[in-house]
Amino acid sequence: MLLPEEVITALRERGEIWETAPGLIGLRGSARSLMETIAFSLAELANDETSDEWSVPSGISFATLERAQYFASFPQWLTAASHLSDDSSVLEAIAGSDSPGSSARAAMQKPDAALSPAVCYHTYERLAGQSVASPTLMTAEGVCWRHEGDRLAPLERGWAFRMREVVCIGTPVEVEEFRQRWMVRTEAFAESLGLSVETVQATDPFFAPTARGKAVLQRIKALKHELTVRFPDGRSLAIASFNNHERFFGEAFEISLESGEVAASACVAFGIERWLLAVVAANGVGSEDNATEFGWSPTTLDTIGAVLQ
Protein backbone atom coordinates (compact mmCIF):
# COMPACT_ATOMS: atom_id res chain seq x y z
CA MET A 1 0.00 0.00 0.00
CA LEU A 2 1.43 3.35 -1.06
CA LEU A 3 0.90 6.69 0.60
CA PRO A 4 -1.38 9.15 -1.20
CA GLU A 5 1.58 11.49 -1.75
CA GLU A 6 3.52 8.70 -3.47
CA VAL A 7 0.62 8.05 -5.82
CA ILE A 8 0.22 11.74 -6.63
CA THR A 9 3.96 12.23 -7.18
CA ALA A 10 4.11 9.31 -9.62
CA LEU A 11 1.00 10.40 -11.53
CA ARG A 12 2.24 13.99 -11.63
CA GLU A 13 5.61 12.90 -13.02
CA ARG A 14 3.80 10.99 -15.76
CA GLY A 15 1.69 14.03 -16.53
CA GLU A 16 -1.52 12.19 -15.69
CA ILE A 17 -2.69 14.58 -12.97
CA TRP A 18 -2.45 18.33 -12.59
CA GLU A 19 -4.01 21.02 -10.42
CA THR A 20 -5.46 24.21 -11.82
CA ALA A 21 -6.17 25.52 -8.32
CA PRO A 22 -6.04 23.90 -4.87
CA GLY A 23 -8.56 21.08 -4.91
CA LEU A 24 -9.28 21.30 -8.65
CA ILE A 25 -7.56 18.57 -10.64
CA GLY A 26 -7.39 17.28 -14.16
CA LEU A 27 -6.64 13.69 -15.19
CA ARG A 28 -5.49 12.05 -18.39
CA GLY A 29 -3.99 8.76 -19.50
CA SER A 30 -4.30 5.59 -17.46
CA ALA A 31 -5.41 7.47 -14.33
CA ARG A 32 -8.36 8.97 -16.22
CA SER A 33 -9.20 5.62 -17.81
CA LEU A 34 -9.16 3.83 -14.49
CA MET A 35 -11.33 6.48 -12.86
CA GLU A 36 -13.90 6.25 -15.66
CA THR A 37 -13.91 2.47 -15.28
CA ILE A 38 -14.40 2.73 -11.53
CA ALA A 39 -17.20 5.27 -12.05
CA PHE A 40 -18.87 2.94 -14.54
CA SER A 41 -18.57 -0.01 -12.17
CA LEU A 42 -20.13 1.98 -9.33
CA ALA A 43 -22.97 2.93 -11.67
CA GLU A 44 -23.44 -0.75 -12.50
CA LEU A 45 -23.45 -1.59 -8.80
CA ALA A 46 -26.14 1.04 -8.25
CA ASN A 47 -28.12 -0.08 -11.29
CA ASP A 48 -28.28 -3.59 -9.85
CA GLU A 49 -30.66 -2.10 -7.31
CA THR A 50 -32.36 0.70 -9.21
CA SER A 51 -32.74 1.58 -12.86
CA ASP A 52 -33.90 5.08 -11.97
CA GLU A 53 -30.76 6.97 -12.97
CA TRP A 54 -30.98 10.76 -12.70
CA SER A 55 -28.89 13.49 -14.22
CA VAL A 56 -28.87 16.17 -11.55
CA PRO A 57 -28.17 19.89 -12.01
CA SER A 58 -24.67 21.09 -11.22
CA GLY A 59 -26.03 23.89 -9.05
CA ILE A 60 -28.68 24.19 -6.38
CA SER A 61 -30.70 27.14 -5.11
CA PHE A 62 -30.04 28.72 -1.75
CA ALA A 63 -33.76 28.22 -1.05
CA THR A 64 -33.37 24.44 -1.31
CA LEU A 65 -30.26 24.49 0.86
CA GLU A 66 -32.11 26.59 3.42
CA ARG A 67 -34.90 24.03 3.45
CA ALA A 68 -32.31 21.28 4.02
CA GLN A 69 -30.82 23.36 6.88
CA TYR A 70 -27.50 23.24 5.03
CA PHE A 71 -26.44 26.67 6.31
CA ALA A 72 -26.76 25.46 9.89
CA SER A 73 -25.04 22.13 9.26
CA PHE A 74 -22.18 22.63 6.78
CA PRO A 75 -21.80 26.34 5.87
CA GLN A 76 -18.01 25.95 6.05
CA TRP A 77 -18.02 24.03 2.76
CA LEU A 78 -20.36 26.16 0.68
CA THR A 79 -19.22 27.28 -2.76
CA ALA A 80 -21.54 29.77 -4.41
CA ALA A 81 -22.40 30.16 -8.10
CA SER A 82 -22.19 33.79 -9.09
CA HIS A 83 -22.07 35.70 -12.37
CA LEU A 84 -21.29 39.15 -13.68
CA SER A 85 -23.71 42.00 -14.00
CA ASP A 86 -25.57 42.22 -17.30
CA ASP A 87 -25.01 45.99 -17.26
CA SER A 88 -23.08 46.65 -20.48
CA SER A 89 -21.13 49.55 -18.96
CA VAL A 90 -19.86 47.25 -16.22
CA LEU A 91 -18.92 44.57 -18.75
CA GLU A 92 -17.17 47.13 -20.96
CA ALA A 93 -15.18 48.39 -17.99
CA ILE A 94 -14.08 44.86 -17.15
CA ALA A 95 -13.23 44.03 -20.75
CA GLY A 96 -11.09 47.15 -21.03
CA SER A 97 -9.43 46.83 -17.64
CA ASP A 98 -5.70 46.21 -17.26
CA SER A 99 -6.54 43.54 -14.73
CA PRO A 100 -9.91 42.16 -15.86
CA GLY A 101 -9.79 39.28 -13.41
CA SER A 102 -9.67 41.67 -10.45
CA SER A 103 -12.31 43.91 -12.00
CA ALA A 104 -14.58 40.94 -12.58
CA ARG A 105 -14.13 39.75 -9.00
CA ALA A 106 -15.28 43.14 -7.75
CA ALA A 107 -18.29 43.14 -10.06
CA MET A 108 -19.62 39.66 -9.30
CA GLN A 109 -23.31 39.58 -8.38
CA LYS A 110 -24.49 38.31 -5.03
CA PRO A 111 -25.29 34.62 -5.50
CA ASP A 112 -28.68 32.93 -5.15
CA ALA A 113 -27.37 29.47 -5.96
CA ALA A 114 -24.52 27.21 -4.92
CA LEU A 115 -22.48 24.63 -6.74
CA SER A 116 -24.02 21.38 -5.51
CA PRO A 117 -22.44 20.18 -2.25
CA ALA A 118 -24.09 16.74 -2.55
CA VAL A 119 -26.19 14.80 -5.01
CA CYS A 120 -29.03 13.70 -2.76
CA TYR A 121 -30.38 17.22 -2.05
CA HIS A 122 -31.63 17.23 -5.64
CA THR A 123 -33.72 14.15 -4.88
CA TYR A 124 -35.53 15.78 -1.98
CA GLU A 125 -35.99 19.00 -3.94
CA ARG A 126 -37.46 17.09 -6.89
CA LEU A 127 -39.84 15.06 -4.69
CA ALA A 128 -40.87 17.94 -2.43
CA GLY A 129 -44.54 17.95 -1.58
CA GLN A 130 -45.13 14.57 -3.23
CA SER A 131 -46.37 11.21 -2.10
CA VAL A 132 -44.08 8.38 -3.26
CA ALA A 133 -44.17 4.60 -3.34
CA SER A 134 -42.32 2.86 -0.58
CA PRO A 135 -39.48 2.24 -1.06
CA THR A 136 -38.43 4.60 -3.87
CA LEU A 137 -34.83 4.37 -5.04
CA MET A 138 -32.77 6.54 -7.39
CA THR A 139 -29.14 6.94 -8.28
CA ALA A 140 -27.05 9.70 -9.83
CA GLU A 141 -23.47 10.79 -10.25
CA GLY A 142 -22.61 14.45 -9.97
CA VAL A 143 -19.77 16.83 -9.28
CA CYS A 144 -19.88 18.08 -5.71
CA TRP A 145 -18.18 21.15 -4.32
CA ARG A 146 -16.93 21.40 -0.75
CA HIS A 147 -14.26 23.89 0.15
CA GLU A 148 -12.18 22.40 2.94
CA GLY A 149 -9.57 25.14 3.24
CA ASP A 150 -6.00 23.96 3.72
CA ARG A 151 -7.11 20.31 3.97
CA LEU A 152 -7.53 20.08 0.19
CA ALA A 153 -5.31 17.41 -1.38
CA PRO A 154 -5.36 15.89 -4.89
CA LEU A 155 -7.68 12.86 -5.19
CA GLU A 156 -7.91 12.69 -1.38
CA ARG A 157 -9.96 15.81 -0.68
CA GLY A 158 -11.04 17.85 -3.67
CA TRP A 159 -12.78 21.21 -3.73
CA ALA A 160 -14.71 19.65 -6.61
CA PHE A 161 -15.08 15.89 -6.82
CA ARG A 162 -17.30 13.27 -8.40
CA MET A 163 -19.83 11.52 -6.22
CA ARG A 164 -22.08 8.55 -6.99
CA GLU A 165 -25.07 8.33 -4.70
CA VAL A 166 -27.92 5.89 -4.26
CA VAL A 167 -30.90 7.26 -2.35
CA CYS A 168 -33.71 5.32 -0.70
CA ILE A 169 -36.98 6.88 0.44
CA GLY A 170 -39.33 4.70 2.43
CA THR A 171 -40.29 3.62 5.90
CA PRO A 172 -37.70 3.79 8.70
CA VAL A 173 -37.27 0.01 8.48
CA GLU A 174 -36.85 0.03 4.70
CA VAL A 175 -34.23 2.77 4.63
CA GLU A 176 -32.19 1.15 7.40
CA GLU A 177 -32.33 -2.21 5.61
CA PHE A 178 -31.14 -0.43 2.45
CA ARG A 179 -28.23 1.12 4.37
CA GLN A 180 -27.21 -2.16 5.98
CA ARG A 181 -27.43 -3.99 2.66
CA TRP A 182 -25.19 -1.42 0.97
CA MET A 183 -22.58 -1.64 3.72
CA VAL A 184 -22.21 -5.33 2.96
CA ARG A 185 -22.29 -4.91 -0.83
CA THR A 186 -19.78 -2.06 -0.85
CA GLU A 187 -17.32 -3.83 1.41
CA ALA A 188 -17.43 -6.90 -0.86
CA PHE A 189 -16.95 -4.72 -3.96
CA ALA A 190 -13.94 -2.95 -2.40
CA GLU A 191 -12.34 -6.24 -1.40
CA SER A 192 -12.77 -7.52 -4.94
CA LEU A 193 -10.56 -4.60 -6.05
CA GLY A 194 -7.77 -5.66 -3.71
CA LEU A 195 -8.62 -3.08 -1.07
CA SER A 196 -8.26 -3.81 2.61
CA VAL A 197 -11.20 -1.95 4.10
CA GLU A 198 -13.05 -1.45 7.34
CA THR A 199 -16.60 -0.22 7.92
CA VAL A 200 -16.65 2.11 10.92
CA GLN A 201 -19.22 4.24 12.68
CA ALA A 202 -18.82 7.93 11.87
CA THR A 203 -20.28 11.38 12.39
CA ASP A 204 -20.59 14.33 10.02
CA PRO A 205 -18.38 17.39 10.64
CA PHE A 206 -21.32 19.58 11.64
CA PHE A 207 -20.69 23.28 12.08
CA ALA A 208 -20.66 24.68 15.61
CA PRO A 209 -22.51 25.64 17.79
CA THR A 210 -24.92 22.70 17.41
CA ALA A 211 -22.18 20.42 16.11
CA ARG A 212 -21.67 18.30 19.19
CA GLY A 213 -25.37 17.70 19.77
CA LYS A 214 -25.96 16.62 16.18
CA ALA A 215 -22.87 14.42 16.19
CA VAL A 216 -23.84 12.82 19.51
CA LEU A 217 -27.33 12.07 18.23
CA GLN A 218 -25.85 10.60 15.06
CA ARG A 219 -23.45 8.49 17.10
CA ILE A 220 -25.97 7.23 19.66
CA LYS A 221 -28.43 6.28 16.94
CA ALA A 222 -25.63 4.82 14.72
CA LEU A 223 -26.96 6.74 11.73
CA LYS A 224 -23.71 7.03 9.79
CA HIS A 225 -21.01 4.55 8.80
CA GLU A 226 -18.06 4.93 6.50
CA LEU A 227 -16.03 2.43 4.50
CA THR A 228 -12.40 3.32 5.09
CA VAL A 229 -8.99 2.37 3.75
CA ARG A 230 -5.88 2.75 5.89
CA PHE A 231 -2.56 3.99 4.52
CA PRO A 232 0.84 2.82 5.83
CA ASP A 233 1.29 5.92 7.98
CA GLY A 234 -1.94 5.17 9.84
CA ARG A 235 -4.13 7.72 8.08
CA SER A 236 -7.56 6.42 7.15
CA LEU A 237 -9.68 7.69 4.30
CA ALA A 238 -13.42 7.22 3.83
CA ILE A 239 -14.26 6.05 0.31
CA ALA A 240 -17.98 5.56 0.89
CA SER A 241 -20.54 6.64 3.46
CA PHE A 242 -23.87 5.12 4.50
CA ASN A 243 -26.30 7.62 5.97
CA ASN A 244 -29.68 7.25 7.63
CA HIS A 245 -31.44 10.64 7.74
CA GLU A 246 -34.49 9.28 9.55
CA ARG A 247 -37.40 11.60 8.68
CA PHE A 248 -35.30 14.77 8.54
CA PHE A 249 -35.59 15.34 4.78
CA GLY A 250 -39.10 13.90 4.59
CA GLU A 251 -40.26 16.55 7.06
CA ALA A 252 -38.14 19.35 5.60
CA PHE A 253 -39.38 18.73 2.04
CA GLU A 254 -42.85 17.41 2.92
CA ILE A 255 -42.31 14.05 1.23
CA SER A 256 -44.81 11.39 2.27
CA LEU A 257 -45.38 7.74 1.55
CA GLU A 258 -48.58 6.36 0.03
CA SER A 259 -49.61 5.29 3.52
CA GLY A 260 -49.70 8.96 4.45
CA GLU A 261 -46.75 8.82 6.84
CA VAL A 262 -43.79 11.14 6.51
CA ALA A 263 -41.01 9.50 4.47
CA ALA A 264 -37.69 8.46 5.94
CA SER A 265 -34.57 8.45 3.78
CA ALA A 266 -31.06 7.06 3.55
CA CYS A 267 -28.26 7.42 1.06
CA VAL A 268 -25.00 5.74 0.19
CA ALA A 269 -22.30 7.93 -1.32
CA PHE A 270 -19.07 7.05 -3.13
CA GLY A 271 -16.21 9.54 -3.60
CA ILE A 272 -14.94 8.43 -6.98
CA GLU A 273 -11.52 10.13 -6.90
CA ARG A 274 -10.90 8.50 -3.53
CA TRP A 275 -11.68 5.09 -5.00
CA LEU A 276 -9.12 5.78 -7.73
CA LEU A 277 -6.55 6.79 -5.12
CA ALA A 278 -7.25 3.71 -3.00
CA VAL A 279 -7.11 1.26 -5.91
CA VAL A 280 -3.83 2.69 -7.22
CA ALA A 281 -2.31 2.94 -3.74
CA ALA A 282 -3.19 -0.69 -3.06
CA ASN A 283 -2.01 -2.07 -6.40
CA GLY A 284 0.88 0.20 -7.36
CA VAL A 285 1.56 2.99 -9.82
CA GLY A 286 3.87 1.07 -12.15
CA SER A 287 6.53 2.77 -14.23
CA GLU A 288 6.56 5.18 -17.12
CA ASP A 289 7.21 2.33 -19.54
CA ASN A 290 4.01 0.54 -18.75
CA ALA A 291 1.99 3.39 -17.37
CA THR A 292 -1.10 2.43 -19.29
CA GLU A 293 -1.41 -0.69 -17.20
CA PHE A 294 -0.07 0.80 -13.97
CA GLY A 295 2.57 -1.94 -14.06
CA TRP A 296 0.23 -4.29 -12.27
CA SER A 297 0.89 -8.00 -12.40
CA PRO A 298 -1.21 -10.13 -14.79
CA THR A 299 -2.96 -11.65 -11.79
CA THR A 300 -3.86 -8.24 -10.38
CA LEU A 301 -5.01 -7.06 -13.77
CA ASP A 302 -7.13 -10.17 -14.25
CA THR A 303 -8.72 -9.77 -10.85
CA ILE A 304 -9.40 -6.08 -11.15
CA GLY A 305 -10.34 -6.36 -14.80
CA ALA A 306 -12.98 -8.95 -13.95
CA VAL A 307 -14.58 -6.52 -11.51
CA LEU A 308 -14.06 -3.32 -13.47
CA GLN A 309 -15.58 -4.47 -16.71
Q: Which residues of this chain interact with another protein, rule CB under 8 A? A: 210, 212-214, 216-217, 219-222
- CB closer to another protein out of 12 and 221: 221
User: Nearer Cβ to another protein, position 106 or 222?
Assistant: 222
What is the DSSP secondary structure assignment for residue 84, as one 8-state letter?
A: B
Pair 132, 258: CB distance under 8 Å: yes
Least spacing, CB of residue 209 vs another protein, in Å: 10
For 94, residues 6+ apart whose C-beta sits below 8 A from its C-beta are 84, 100, 103, 104, 107
The distance of closest approach from Cβ of residue 197 to another protein in the complex, given in angstroms and rounded to an integer, is 21
CB of residue 175 to another protein, shortest distance in Å: 16
Least separation in angstroms between CB 230 and another protein: 19
Question: Cα dihedral angle (127, 247, 76, 272), rounded to 10 degrees?
Answer: -70
| Residue closer to another protein, measured from CB, 188 or 200 | 200
- Could you give the CA distance from residue 276 to residue 36 in angstroms, rounded to a whole number? 9
Residue 304 DSSP SS3: helix
The region that residue 308 occupies, defined by phi over 0 for left and psi between -120 and 50 for alpha, beta otherwise, is beta
Nearer to another protein, 188 or 216 (CB): 216
CB of 264 vs another protein, minimal distance in Å: 13
Give 21 or 208: the residue with its C-beta nearer to another protein: 208
Q: To 10 degrees, the CA torsion angle through 111, 112, 118, 119? A: -130
